[in-house]
Structure 1
Amino acid sequence: MSNGSGNERMDFLKRVAGENVIGVPSRFKKYGYRKPSRRHKSGRQVIADESKRISLLLQEEGNGEKRVPKVTYFNVNAPPSTRPTKKYCDITGLVGRYRSPVNNLRYHNAEIYQLVVKPMAPGVDQEYLKLRGDHFVLK
């Protein structure tokens, strides 16, 4: 390759690059736009938020003598969770998405319902509910 063809190639590339420049800013993007970053809370912030929530609970009770220890990583004394409780299948222990309308047993899928829950003898369902603590006693 000779020195002359290298210069021709560079001239060509400069000319093409000059033609590709758009003089008008795009109306779809703002100049200097950056995607906002997600903000995660540190452990200290989570503990501080829980402490505030506990103090608000105590203020609502109006009992000034009752003291709740400060929430840290080393103690387990904390109010109940605000998240909903998880529901598991009474037969398999997997996630129980469905509930039987007849006996209120939770089950994982239709196969478990057809093979176990539907043909279940009376009284057996109460034993499963007793394990969960959801049984009822007739007086």
Structure 2
Amino acid sequence: MSNTPGRSMSSTPITTTTTTQVNLHELSEITTKSHSFKQNPNRKQPPNRRYKPSRQLISDELKYIQSKLNSNSNSNSNSNSNSNSNLKKFDINTPTYNSIMSPPSLKPSMKYCDITGLPTNYKCPSNQLRFYNLEIYQEIIKNMPAGLDQEYLQLRGANVILK
């Protein structure tokens, strides 16, 4: 048997005009929808901005505190209490963004190589530069001209300033 374009392999003839019309009709229904096929029209839209900057958090917190103080002063208008005592009571009793004070972390800070930026445990005894491995120490730090080590330390904020 030869595969010619006009012949079909089966004995039953296929009517191509009806199937193509149905397929075109289905395709036109799909493509003419009012929304994209990837977008659900009932989907809730995400907010434009997820996080507020710290400046906005602080200003919102101050507005919240002032609104609480105003409501307290309106309810206590008959008593002789001033707003400063209300503010002190409010700050002591309720934690706010401004009033939460935490101690320094007990976890030691990470130390990074001054040359590569990789985490390290090694420090040069002569100029206090941190290095990642022996290769960096031998190739770069030992052959470093005077004064260049202070520039690397200045980037880290550990430079020595002589007066």
**What TM-score bracket applies, with the shorter chain setting the length?**
0.3 to 0.5
- Choose 1 or 2 for highest CA Rg: 2
TM-score, normalised relative to structure 2: 0.39
TM-score, normalised relative to structure 1: 0.45
